[in-house]
Structure 1
């Protein structure tokens, strides 16, 4: 029997990603609020992640394209090895306010990703030379897919979502296909954004969640749905919800829930992992405000086999409310 999840599951880690591995461990990573490293921790339970020892497995470069704003790492298992996907910006960002991220991959052939060497496999090139971030991968019908957010300068907004098949875990083999762009009012508050994709395959369907708007109180989750037998590279195979499926809830004290991932409970139930703040009065630049805490809760299902995310639940554990980064 799975124990009740106590939130937050990890303090001060935005863009949380949890991978449940066959070795019985949950592996956790997320954006460190200093944006200078990639961290990992593991535990036998989701609740255990809270106090698990954390290890920095990679640090930003002193200069060059991998030297600034390390964002949204995800850890995956593919072709018998571990991979971490993340976005990084060049040090030229220091001189202006333009984000210029690209997407990169690390590889580790150890059984335990907390050990061994993480090798830089380089940039995942999409054929578009624009702001790109938030990559995720998934297998479907023995094909490896890559989904990510990227800007198209000919489309209004900051990022759209794209999909492609992969030749290997660091190389695309098909041209990018755009699945969604920010268009509804809840996707364009503060910034015009579709980002943070996460894939869930269940009940004969492929669900692709994502986040919209700026990362404050307006941040929320949307969803695309395709039939599991459809051509996932065909934009017409996907149906986009016109309303958000997960959003701020004042009664529960949860604001800006989003940038989610999916995992399973110890007994196989679908678990939504996401970040949110529990207050709205931010001090300083929201980008460097550290208190987007990682949270998790069970997903319910309707009679048609579609996920019901409900409301972000109130906190069970203490959280910091000051702009200092915890050690």
Structure 2
């Protein structure tokens, strides 16, 4: 049976708002949390970007729900050894309720340290090497590693959970789905693409969990909801590899100027009709996803949680 969770958007909300959303999500009946990991928001209108590892520590103290990063990049902005320490501490704090979602990253967040931004194939090689390092560190052994992309000298994690957190690998194409099947404890992808899920399962994923997510905008006025999404998240409609290679929020704003309200309206889930929300969510279950995380865009958070508590989650079982 598919599990339904709430997605905390670090790009749009302050730390205190995210903590309150986590509390409301648990009260509404969501069974898990996911959280984004960004240095920048996608655009200045979103306007926030708290440090995800601080947020996970705080979440462990205000909710009993498991938390998954969707997703962190453990290759450029943070070295794999530092990422491993952050993930191990998070798993320890949450009594094993932390899952480490990882991906190959976006220039938006990773270029800030001055490193060259490699092409997609190299980024996947870096991710594979990083995950191998992280898994070794999760054993508690002392690790020295000299690879194609990373060096580790005499590193050992002293604070570990009883069980290492599972590592879920993100991907949006066949090559990444195959890597996730071979390397990950699960697969993360944001579209209800049954073909991609099948490639993951055939590539070694088997019955490992597949996680997805979608953004919605509850509002009593559907047209107003469309305007809210078009103002805050037009980047959701940018095609292809653009989200991985554009380096600043200003570049995303320039590219997003080509996204019209009509394009936004045709691609999202808006308003207060439960059936529209249920149809969008069930598309993931129909595509063989195990977990689906829903994010409410805009300020109407309490109304959204009331709506899902009474009209959506009961219908999903």
Both proteins in one fold, TM over 0.5: no
Relative contact order, higher structure (CA 8 A, sep 6+): 2
Higher helix share: 2
Higher strand share: 1
Q: TM-score, normalised by structure 2?
A: 0.30
